[in-house]
Amino acid sequence: MGVRVVVTMTTAAAAACCLLLLQLFVGCVAVAAALPTKGGGAGGDDYLRYKDPKQPLNRRIDDLLRRMTLAEKIGQMSQIERENATADVVNKYLIGSVLSGGGSVPAKNAPPEAWVKMVNGMQSGALSTRLGIPIIYGIDAVHGHGNVYKATIFPHNIGLGCTRDPELAQRIGAAVALEVRATGIPYVFAPCVAVCRDPRWGRCYESFSEHPGVVRNMTSIISGFQGEIPAPASGGRPGAPYVAGGQRNVAACSKHYVGDGGTTKGVNEGNTVASFHELMAVHMPPYYNAVIRGVSTVMVSFSSWNGVKMHANHFLVTDHLKNRLRFRGFIISDWQGLDRITTPDHADYLLSIKLGILAGVDMVMIPYTYTEFIDDLTLLVQNGTIPMSRIDDAVRRILRVKFTMGLFDNPYADTSLVGELGKQEHRDLAREAVRKSLVLLKNGKPGAKPLLPLPKKLSYGGRVLVAGSHADDLGSQCGGWTITWQGLTGNNLTAGTTILDGIRRAVAPGTDVVYSENPDAGFVQKNKARFDYAVVVVGEPPYAETFGDNLNLTIPAPGPDIIRNVCGSIKCVVVLVSGRPLVVEPFMDIIDALVAAWLPGTEGQGVSDVLFGDYGFTGKLSRTWFRSVDQLPMNVGDAHYDPLFPFGFGLQTQPSTY
């Protein structure tokens, strides 16, 4: 027989007990819904297939996409600036991506641990949303992790193009990826694959070359960033985004699509006047290679093609890139790129959003006005102006990249890679890149012996004059996109070695290296007999984008006077630090040797390595060196081609034996 136990309790106690049981029941249901079924079997709506890493990629994407509301989809299409992106903002507005603009940092001289903490804080806001879709954090890393204090700064692309070394570019991409990952960031707005056809353009140093073939070869840097895409027989799919497993690679971004290097007079964000054939032959080829390499994203250019803004160009963005080239990653706007579809900017924002999204832009860089963008895009979808199919295409592409790079499975960064930032192996690689990027344009006056390589050891100790504004200026030799957007002059912005430092380390003990930033004619005449030779280092100040547009391309003052004062009296080598060729013909008769050093970055010792013959000069011009700006634009293959130094020119030397 059974035993019956009767328990009596107060009404209040009974109510409390019922409430506790109800809470336990609801909690168990929530936990069960968040867990995939064992073995990855198909369950009902409670089975979150998108959270199961064992599921095929497209099934995860389909499962997540069908669960998303319009607000969640538009949130994924929104990329906002770091300074606005608190965890609460990311959570409230369901933000899909965050970026650091040039110079946007968690704190001045912030260590990598501070970056990791910042990114993870934002990620926590994303993961606490209903669906827990992680953000993708992006940053410009156009010649190293340039925003970050003590990162390795590599030569800008114009110098890398002179190396003609795709394997070197790939190694640089892998090193930069590690330094970016050291700060918890998984996505870089690089490489720029523009084909610069006019050096008056302020972004010309971001271009590997005027020749599309050179730029195509240097897209190997994408495989450095992302990892080498497997062959089709091993599962690789050209056109699909690819990022190698683990957390040592980053998603890359080819930019700026397309024709940004061909604008009239090199005006930044200007108009490229070209036939379809010219556009395809000159500016499009690097994108073919980028897509084949599995590039994850493509950034649209501010510029126009024959008067049509690229951000509103459905034919080139959707018909050509997405459909014809079968690019399967996502397309991102440039900074406030949709705003600039109208003139003036933001004059008709609803129209701008309509044109940009219908053209095929998937993620919109809206650093500040993100609430306006979200509200307006929502309205355009709700009133039928933009079909849901276009929104779904955008979100599907964004999710594909996030799943492919492992963000859903490893959303949080850690500090295990902080030692990669600025490590010696990366600095050695940058120094190698500097050596290989230098182009020797002149070596000795007619009838005289070559000046280079310079002797390290001089009789009776010897004395060397080093002059010029750029000899002892780390900021100037790094150029734009270094610590700040426009770059900085001076030696207190980050860690590195100036060209003067390199010279002092190269010469034999006992050699007197005299540095004078701006020696006047009187100083030189008084002391010329004391110097065995001089190294004059002059060039451009740092700049980026429109601030670098320049119609005269002369060496900035006091550079010309320094060249005349020093080289008119002392045997001299001029080292030109610049983002492009400059007017040098007026000085060619008085100088003994001329070296194009471009923008070498933090490892200035790479310059002295070659000046003093530890290594030979091997660099070849990646672009034509004009005589006069009146000749511009002038590129190899033009009918009227009369350069001072032609494309591919570069004298070679052999290493010295001391």
Q: Tens digit of pLDDT for each residue in 356-372?
A: 999 999 999 999 999 99
Asked if the model's pLDDT at residue 10 lies above 70, the reply is no
What CA–CA distances, in Å, run from 611 to 295, 499, 510, 534, 574? 38, 10, 19, 12, 11
Q: Which residue(s) pair with 257 in the sheet?
A: 300
The pTM is what?
0.93
Tokens of 189: 């707005």
**573-617 pLDDT tens trace:** 999 999 999 999 999 999 999 999 999 999 999 999 999 999 999
Q: Is residue 359 part of a domain?
A: yes
**Based on the domain organization, do 398 and 448 belong to the same domain?**
no
pLDDT score for 1: 39
pLDDT score for 650: 98
Confidence class for position 233, pLDDT limits 50, 70, 90? confident
Query: Are 574 and 594 contacting, i.e. CB atoms less than 8 angstroms apart?
Result: yes
**623-636 pLDDT tens trace:** 999 999 999 999 99
Q: Is residue 371 part of a domain?
A: yes
Domain of residue 140 covers 75-230+238-405
**Based on the domain organization, do 470 and 519 belong to the same domain?**
yes
Query: Are 136 and 407 contacting, i.e. CB atoms less than 8 angstroms apart?
Result: yes
pLDDT score for 30: 37
pLDDT score for 2: 39
**What is the C-alpha separation between 466 and 608, in angstroms, rounded?**
12
For residues 216-235, give the mean pLDDT: 95
Confidence class for position 36, pLDDT limits 50, 70, 90? very low
CATH code for position 461? 3.40.50.1700
Q: Considering its fold, how many domains does the chain have in total?
A: 2
| Active site residues per annotation | 334, 545
What CA–CA distances, in Å, run from 170 to 152, 156, 324? 16, 14, 27
Tokens of 364: 């919109």
**Based on the domain organization, do 326 and 444 belong to the same domain?**
no
Asked if the model's pLDDT at residue 622 lies above 70, the reply is yes
**Based on the domain organization, do 460 and 374 belong to the same domain?**
no
Q: Is residue 429 part of a domain?
A: no
**Based on the domain organization, do 353 and 445 belong to the same domain?**
no
Percent of the chain with pLDDT over 70: 93
Q: Is residue 298 part of a domain?
A: yes
**Based on the domain organization, do 399 and 487 belong to the same domain?**
no
**Based on the domain organization, do 394 and 264 belong to the same domain?**
yes
For residues 461-466, give the mean pLDDT: 93
Query: Are 440 and 615 contacting, i.e. CB atoms less than 8 angstroms apart?
Result: no
Which residue has better confidence, 45 or 227?
227
Q: Is residue 304 part of a domain?
A: yes
Asked if the model's pLDDT at residue 23 lies above 70, the reply is no
For residues 255-279, give the mean pLDDT: 98
**What is the C-alpha separation between 373 and 523, in angstroms, rounded?**
61
Strand, helix or coil for residue 534: strand
Q: Is residue 285 part of a domain?
A: yes
Q: Which of 364, 380, 405 is the last residue of a domain?
A: 405
Confidence class for position 459, pLDDT limits 50, 70, 90? confident
For residues 563-568, give the mean pLDDT: 98
Q: What is the mean pLDDT of the chain?
A: 93
Query: Are 448 and 592 contacting, i.e. CB atoms less than 8 angstroms apart?
Result: yes
Confidence class for position 35, pLDDT limits 50, 70, 90? very low
CATH code for position 263? 3.20.20.300
Phi-psi region of 613 (alpha: psi -120 to 50; beta: other; left: phi over 0): left
**What is the C-alpha separation between 206 and 604, in angstroms, rounded?**
19
Confidence class for position 389, pLDDT limits 50, 70, 90? very high
Strand stretches in 69-219, DSSP E: 78-81, 97-100, 136-139, 187-188
pLDDT score for 115: 98
Confidence class for position 238, pLDDT limits 50, 70, 90? confident
Confidence class for position 45, pLDDT limits 50, 70, 90? low
**Based on the domain organization, do 450 and 598 belong to the same domain?**
yes
